[in-house]
Amino acid sequence: MIFCNNGEELDKNEPTEEEQYQQADASVTTSSEGICIHSMVIAGQIEGHFAASPQSKSTKYEQCIPTLVAVEENDAIDGLLLLLNTIGGDIEAGLAIAELISGMTKPTVSIVLGGGHSIGVPLAVSAKRSFIVPSATMTIHPVRLNGLVIGVPQTFANLAKMQERIIEFIVRNSRADGDTVRKLMTATDDMTTDIGTVIDGREAVDHGIIDKVGGLGEAVRELKDMIRKSKGAAF
């Protein structure tokens, strides 16, 4: 028998509002200690305006966006737990999801599991508190473009602007400074065939990108503490 924060029993014979939208993506709503938490998984490639190959694991931004809106608007849900294991993907789609999470009024906690690479970095810092497990890694590199390029100078200028937007978002939502992020992005001595830097859990915290090194239990405990404080402030 499950109860949410309003004390009402959830009727398990009929799908709740949470269950109706959680079927659209890799997410689940759980309840304990009078607290309801919605957990969302962002895994594989973040799919944007173009579909990923059938062989690729992907997270579709058009499914994440309505889920996040529903979590923000549903009074029965107290907070969001974001679980990340992503190789990155579409920049605009990733930033769209990250901006939604950073703009939520409810308590939010992220945890980087296997990896939070590329555009996964803004997603990791978008929550109000961020965790990373010790064995996880994060790849920070410049913005890339595949395929035919028409108008090279203009394209490079647009890429530079996009890269600055990403850096600004990371700085705005973490303890990292812009110079540190740019240095990590443009390093040439860390990756054998690419520009950028791969950092592990402890390094991510040392650089100020992630708040704490910790596992699932610590992330959930932090989120519940934030929810209790927010409830106390509301009364």
Q: Is 117 a catalytic residue?
A: no
141 a catalytic residue: yes
SS3 state of residue 218: helix
User: What tokens were used for 160?
Assistant: 């530079």
Q: Any idea what the Cα angle at residue 169 is, between residues 167 and 173, rounded to 5°?
A: 120
Q: Catalytic pick from 58, 141, 174, 207?
A: 141
Q: Are 107 and 150 contacting, i.e. CB atoms less than 8 angstroms apart?
A: no
As a 3-state breakdown, the chain gives helix, strand, coil percent values, each rounded to 5, of 40, 25, 35
Q: Per the residue annotation, which of 118, 126, 130, 174 is the catalytic one? A: 118
User: How many whole angstroms separate alpha carbon 62 and alpha carbon 25?
Assistant: 10
Q: Are 77 and 38 spatial neighbours (Cβ–Cβ below 8 Å)? A: yes
Q: Which residues are catalytic?
A: 118, 141
